[in-house]
Amino acid sequence: MSDRRPLIAGNWKMNCLRDDGLALASGLASKLSGASERPECDILLCPPATLLADVVGVLGHCDIHAGGQDCHFDKSGAHTGDIAASMLADIGASHVILGHSERRADHGESSTIIRQKTIAAHNAGLTAVVCVGETEQERDLGAAIAVVCGQMDVSLPEDATAENTVIAYEPVWAIGTGRTAAVADVEEMHAAIRRKLKERFADGDAFRILYGGSVKPSNAAELLAVENVDGALVGGASLKVEDFWGIVSACK
C-alpha cells in the first residue's frame, strides 16, 4: 500500500448552468457531511469558470476543493476571454486542470504552452493537474508510452513537486466513450509515468497519478486498486451526485 492519499476530481467541462451546478455542489457537500466515515480520498470539483466562485461559496468550509479547468500562462494583460491563475486563486480555487486533451485538440495547446501554464499555476499557489494521454492511433502504433512520456518531459517544469502537481493519465479514446483502458494497460502506463517522475524529481514517488476516461461507480474500485493509480479524473459521472459519490466511496 502506498501512502499517497487518492484524489477524486470531477471535471464538469462545459456543463451546468447555475441552478444545476450549485445543486450538484451542495448535494456533494451534504453527502460528505452526512457520511458516517470520512472518505479515504481528497475530493476536487472543477466547474466551469462561471460557477467557480459560487461553488466555492456553496462548499464553504467543507473538505472539498474547487479548481479551474484552464488558465493563461501570463499574469495579466491583453488576453481577451482568458483567465489568469491568480484570478482562480483569488476566488478560492486550489487547483487547476491543465493540458486536457480537449484543450490540446480544440485550442491547439502544445506541451510547451502547458509547461508555461503549469509554472503560472504554481506561482499563483495552485496545484496543477497536468493531463497526458495518447490517441487511439498512437496506441495502435504501439507508441502510447513514448507519447505520454514525451508529453511529460515537456509539460512538467523543473519546479514541479508532489505538492504542487498531480498527473492525470487520460487515454483520449477512453474519454466520454464508455470505453475504459484495460487494467493491464493502465498498470503499465502508470508504472511508466511513475518511473519518469522518479527519474526527474526527488519526490517522484509521492506524486499522485490519476486515471481518467469513462470512470464510473461500476468500474472505479477495479481501476483504483491498480498499482500507481492514485485517484481518478472524472467527466460524465461527476455530473450526478450519486455517481460521483459512488466513485468517492470506491476509495478504500
Ligand X SMILES: O=C(CO)COP(=O)(O)O
Catalytic residue annotation: 100, 170
Mark the segment that binds ligand X (CB under 6 A) among 53-61, 182-190, 195-203, 230-238: 230-238
| 8-state DSSP, 99 | S
Phi, psi of 10 (to 5 degrees): -105, 125
From the number of C-beta atoms within 10 Å of its C-beta (0-12, 13-18, 19+), residue 19 rates as exposed
x/- map, 99-118, ligand X, by CB under 6 A: -x------------------
CA-CA distances (angstroms) from residue 105 to 111, 133, 185? 12, 12, 23
Closest separation between CB of residue 3 and ligand X, Å?
Answer: 25
Mark the segment that binds ligand X (CB under 6 A) among 71-79, 108-116, 118-126, 207-215: 207-215
| C-alpha to C-alpha distance for 63 and 43, rounded to whole angstroms | 8
Strand locations in the chain, DSSP E? 7-11, 42-46, 65-68, 95-98, 127-132, 165-169, 208-212, 231-234
| C-alpha to C-alpha distance for 25 and 41, rounded to whole angstroms | 17
The reply, when asked if residue 235 is annotated as ligand binding, is yes
Strand locations in 34-115, DSSP E? 42-46, 65-68, 95-98
Closest separation between CB of residue 202 and ligand X, Å?
Answer: 28
Closest separation between CB of residue 77 and ligand X, Å?
Answer: 28
Residue 218 as a binder of ligand X (CB under 6 A): the answer is no
The reply, when asked if residue 218 is annotated as ligand binding, is no
**Which CB, 189 or 215, lies closer to ligand X?**
215
The reply, when asked if residue 12 is annotated as ligand binding, is yes
CA-CA distances (angstroms) from residue 166 to 1, 96, 139, 154, 232? 19, 10, 23, 15, 11
The reply, when asked if residue 13 is annotated as ligand binding, is yes
x/- map, 166-205, ligand X, by CB under 6 A: ----x----xx-----------------------------
The reply, when asked if residue 36 is annotated as ligand binding, is no
Binder to ligand X among 70, 73, 235, 245 (CB under 6 A)? 235
C-alpha cell at position 24: 450538484
**Which CB, 186 or 201, lies closer to ligand X?**
186
The reply, when asked if residue 214 is annotated as ligand binding, is yes
x/- map, 5-24, ligand X, by CB under 6 A: ------x-------------
C-alpha cell at position 130: 497536468
**Residues lying near ligand X in the complex (CB under 6 A):** 11, 100, 170, 175-176, 212-215, 233-237
Binding residues for substrate: 11-13, 176, 214, 235-236
